[in-house]
Chains A and B, each alone.
Chain A
């Protein structure tokens, strides 16, 4: 039996995103355990694991964020295949190797089979690189990784029985990397599988950078020098501090300049639109537009 579990802080988001996906892929005997969150995600997920550990016949426990919509109709079959063999502890659809911190996306990402569906600026979809395998880059592949993105995880029964999220690490960030590191430290494998999901989330990746930085430090402290397969970072602490402070400031500047560039690009387009709509041609053709579009079109989903 493949079970689905979700920790909910916003019931309307669960109803709109995770629930339809789970209904789409769940099998007749699947258990769905969607319950309100109880504190941090670490604590909430541990509560879900404790519950699932009691279930007989468990083949896999799928942990989905409330804003994760599973798309693959053969999800359960693919998860079963991915977890086949006693050596696999956890699978997901986004993973990376060469991971040095909770910023796993800075490492070599091998699979990213999801869409980021956002609502800002009229809404839209950002397809990640292996959403469509026909258009995937050469480095996209399914297989063993060092970490998975926690928005969708499927745990083996062994993992449900033996591994827990580390509640000392904070509220939210870094739980997925730490969990994968624990699984690997216990001798089990972390793998990606060919399933797809939609992550309904804003484009802003880090709404709480201070909390995120705290988690980054906490996970780094915990795993320093004992990350499986990863040598310690080069340089003295002073050298590391100097370089990181410089690169931090450069990145802050880059973020600000993106705003500047956006303003310039939007201004250019606004000028073009104003020029178009202020032209004689536009006024001449107004009756035709009214005929062909009596009501304004809603924003288009891409």
Chain B
């Protein structure tokens, strides 16, 4: 039996995104553990793991973020296939090798066919996690993103999320590190998934920094697959401070480039719509819009 679990903070994302996806892919005997959040996602997930661990027929537990919609009609078959390898304890939709900080995406990443649906700027879709710049593909990685985590029965029964990571970020990376420290494998599989998320992906950047520090302190010198950093603290501090300032400057530069790009487009639109003939034909467009709106209302009332 393949079970599904969610930590739900608000009902709306579940109703709109993850719920419809689960209804499409759950099998007749699938169990759904939709638990209300008890603060940290790590803590809620552990409650789900405790519940699922007692099922003798468990083949896998799929932990889904409420904003993630599984769109893969073969999802369960693919999950079974990747978990058929007894060495594999965890699978996900996107991940990276050589993970050595909370920012797993700074290492080379690979991704299955994921989609990012954003709702700002008139809505739209990008390739999922395009900001990570992943290579398309599947295979073994050091960590997967927590938006989708497919756990083997072994993982469900033997590894728990660390709820001492109190800042909320990094529970997924930490879980992956624990799995790898226990000698098991993590893979990215070609699950089809749409993530409905904002374009600004770290909601609380200051808290994220604290979480980064806490995770670094926990795993210092023992990140699986990564040789320990032999530099002394002063050297590390110097280099990191320099790289931080460089990264900030690059971020600022990108903002300028964004503004320049958008301004160019806005000028073009302004020029297109501010001409006299365009203004002259405005009543025609208003009339057409009213006609289309009325037609839409009629369709809605019929359905």
Contacts and interface: CB of A to CB of B under 8 A. Distances in A.
Given A203-B253, A257-B201, A261-B199, A101 B241 contact: yes
Q: Which 7 A-B pairs have the closest CB atoms?
A: A251-B247, A216-B242, A246-B212, A244-B240, A285-B277, A249-B103, A288-B277
B299 interface: no
B200 interface: yes
Contacts of B200: 257, 261
A135 interface: no
Interface string A264-284: 111111111100110111101
A276 B281 contact: no
Given A103-B245, A249-B103, A285-B281, A300 B267 contact: yes
A264 B208 contact: no
Given A251-B251, A254-B251, A256-B131, A265 B202 contact: no
Contacts of A221: 238
B219 interface: no
Interface in B250-267: 250-258, 260-267
A126 interface: yes
B222 to A, nearest CB: 16
A147 to B, nearest CB: 14
Q: How large is the interface on A (under 10, 10 to 19, 20 to 34, 35 or more residues)?
A: 35 or more
Interface string A230-242: 0000001110111
Interface string A286-302: 00110010000101101
Interface stretch (B89-97, B116-124, B156-164, B176-184): B116-124
B265 A269 contact: yes
B265 A204 contact: no
Interface stretch (A18-26, A48-56, A206-214): A206-214
Interface string B232-248: 11101111111111111
Contact of A248 (B243, B255, B260, B261): B243
B205 interface: yes
A22 B25 CA distance: 71
A124 to B, nearest CB: 6
A249 B240 CA distance: 10
